[in-house]
Amino acid sequence: MSTSTTTMDLSRTARTRIADTVVWVVLAGGAIFMLAPLLWMFSTSLKSQLEVFALPPVWIPEVPQWDTYVRMWDNSYILSGFANSAIVTFSVTILGTLTCSLAAFSIAKMRLPFRNTIFIGLLTGIMIPFPTLMIPQFVIFARIGWVDTLLPLIVPAIFGNIIVIFFLRQYLESVPNSLIEAAKIDGASFWQIFWRMIFPIIRPAIAAQFILWFMAVWNDYLAPILYLRTPERQTLQVVIASMNVQYATQRDYPLIMGASVVALLPIVVVFLIFQRQIIESIALTGSKG
Amino acid sequence: MTSTATPATAGLATAARRSGARRKSAPPGGGTSRLHRNEQKWALGFVALPVLGYLLFILYPVLFALYASLTRWNGLGAMEFIGLQNYANLLTDDRFHQSMWNTIFYLVGIPIGLAISLALALAMNRRLVGLTVFRTIYYIPVICSIAAVAILWQWAYNGDFGLVNQFLGLLGIDGPNWLADATWSKPAITLMMVWKGLGYSMLLYLAAIQAVPRSLMEAAELDGAGAWQRFRAITLPMVRPVTFFLVVTQIIASAQIFAEIQIMTPGGGPEYSTASAVFHIWRQAFQYQQMGYATAMAIVLGILIFIITLIQFRLNKRSSFVLD
């Protein structure tokens, strides 16, 4: 495939063409290595119990057991897992993004008293890892009776994410002050300035952070496993991890793999749809870091 | 940025005239006029939630943790103050040492992953057919949830029926029972982490490489620089900030590895060979109710990570975190 297009490009030397072919083959080999575990997960989910433990291995099941994707919903908490993950992820990202953009606006563009103290104070928060905070946070939420609810996963995040604030502030630096001054002269309130002017301007940056934050919360495991005990209150990631423990003893690997496929599917589909934006967000965030 | 010296508007001038005498003692352009006070109120309102969140969910927990680490405490009962006893116990706790060593071992994956990602990024910088497809494929593991990935790889590392040993079997190699073998469990988890992280580093490298001016490369080529020389003299220095960013963020992330360990080796692996620092802390705190002791470990880990982050802030000139 690659040789046919490169031969048309006459300006290139034969050596480059050979190199391109070699590189392409290596990339393709690597791509197989990257995809194989995921494809194998899918193929395992369609195998019969016999085929799972067959030697030599079966790659494509003779009769695909689509039944796996039917029976996994019985006696499992996948559906409530989806609902809980969706509740946590949407409330955190939507409300949290609003908090963060207001804070970024205030820090970057308003006459904020003690601005440096506040900003540098917040930044010290980034340097403290969650594992150091998790025990005291757990005790705090245990005392107010929030253990085994989704609240400890949602409420702290609504107070904002410092990394997101930091990133949005950087982005706002490029917005000229004169724009805001003009709006003030026109008698706009700060809420109006934020909502009608700042928010639309920083929308690309917000979109970038929103996507990354969404995926991080959706895939989070440590905090949910600390707080959520009752199966029907667990998020999807915890649900599939418990299914992994439960069904491994029954050696029902098709079911475990099927549940993992179902858990991965929404985020992979979102990724494939918003691929360009997601990839740009990541490149942008990385270069700003 | 000159926040207090912005030109006074018509409204401001009136406000200033009204507050006549006071204005003389106030700093030029003063923050005391009514409009400024109004703006300050709004500004404080807009940052109120993050500041409150910081106090409630970071500062207070940190102070709480500092104290709790000096106590014997099961999380429910009274805290018994025992001074630095927990920290002293850490010095002779073999399991803690083992988990710290395991955590350091996992860092081996970082240089390996970065080298492969850089090579991939260089490959993707060529004009090849199907690049978008490749980029997508390499990136998919990054977006996959760690829980699903850990479940998948736990099964892939199964000694008898796992994908990894089936593949090795094709090459005539009789693979070990990876996760049940104290020698191979850590390399197995490291390999999985490399697989999952490749796409991310590759993407950042690709962005950095594409930012290298073409003219620079062409000039070097005209001067007779070979591919390797161009790589050493131009590409590598140009991607250095990205390398630095990736090294630091990945050290911070790897130092907190937990889900993989807890899912793939629920007991911490054979001879505790896979238990990471966070896994050990989690187990002591939430399975053995040694909250005071676990908090002391968490503080030690926190200080180490804090230092690494601080180094990043100090060295990375591009993260301008000082205003004005």
* Domains by residue range for chain A, with CATH: 2-70 (no CATH), 78-288 (1.10.3720.10)
pLDDT digits (tens, 9 = 90+) for A223-263: 999 999 999 999 999 999 999 998 887 888 999 999 999 99
Q: Which pLDDT does position B319 carry in this prediction?
A: 43
Q: Using CB atoms, which residue from A52, A132, A241 is nearest to B65?
A: A132
Say whether pLDDT at B309 is over 60. yes
Q: Using CB atoms, which residue from B1, B49, B256 is nearest to A159?
A: B49
Question: Between residues A185 and B324, which one has the greater pLDDT?
Answer: A185
Q: Which pLDDT does position B8 carry in this prediction?
A: 33
How far apart are the CA of B110 and the nearest CA of chain A, in angstroms?
Answer: 16
Interchain contact, B1 vs A103, CB within 8 Å: no
Q: Please list the residue range(s) of chain B that carry CATH number 1.10.3720.10.
A: 94-315
pLDDT digits (tens, 9 = 90+) for A100-138: 999 999 999 999 999 999 998 998 888 899 999 999 999
Regarding an ipTM greater than 0.85, the answer is yes
A177 CB within 8 Å of a chain B CB: yes
What is the arithmetic mean of pLDDT over B102-110? 96
Q: Residue B20: which pLDDT band, with cuts at 50, 70 and 90?
A: very low
Q: Which pLDDT does position A67 carry in this prediction?
A: 87
Interchain contact, A135 vs B298, CB within 8 Å: yes
Interchain contact, A122 vs B126, CB within 8 Å: no
How far apart are the CA of B84 and the nearest CA of chain A, in angstroms?
Answer: 17
Interchain contact, A287 vs B151, CB within 8 Å: no
Q: Which residues of B touch A55 (CB under 8 A)?
A: 160-161
CATH topology of domain B94-315: MetI-like fold (1.10.3720)
pLDDT digits (tens, 9 = 90+) for B182-226: 999 999 999 999 999 999 999 999 989 988 888 888 888 888 888
Three-state secondary structure of chain A: CHHHHHHHCCCCCHHHHHHHHHHHHHHHHHHHHHHHHHHHHHHHHCCCHHHHCCCCCCCCCCCCCCCHHHHCCCCCCHHHHHHHHHHHHHHHHHHHHHHHHHHHHHHHHCCCCCHHHHHHHHHHHHCCCHHHHHHHHHHHHHHCCCCCCCHHHHHHHHCCCHHHHHHHHHHHCCCCHHHHHHHHHCCCCHHHHHHHHHHHHCHHHHHHHHHHHHHHHHHCCHHHHHHCCCHHHCCHHHHHHHHHHHHHCCCCHHHHHHHHHHHHHHHHHHHHHCHHHHHHHHHHHHHHC
How far apart are the CA of A141 and the nearest CA of chain B, in angstroms?
Answer: 10
Residues 6+ apart with CB under 8 A from A282: A212, B200, B203, B204
Interchain contact, A128 vs B321, CB within 8 Å: no
How far apart are the CA of A74 and the nearest CA of chain B, in angstroms?
Answer: 20
What is the arithmetic mean of pLDDT over A194-204? 90
Q: Which residues of B touch A162 (CB under 8 A)?
A: 50, 54
Name the residue of chain B whose CA is nearest to A163's CA: B50
> CA–CA separation, A134 vs A142, rounded Å?
12
Name the residue of chain B whose CA is nearest to A24's CA: B128
Q: Which pLDDT does position A289 carry in this prediction?
A: 41
Best-predicted range by mean pLDDT (A200-204, A284-288, B176-180):
B176-180
Q: Tell which A residues from 65 to 94 touch B, by Cβ distance under 8 Å.
A: none
Q: Which pLDDT does position B317 carry in this prediction?
A: 55
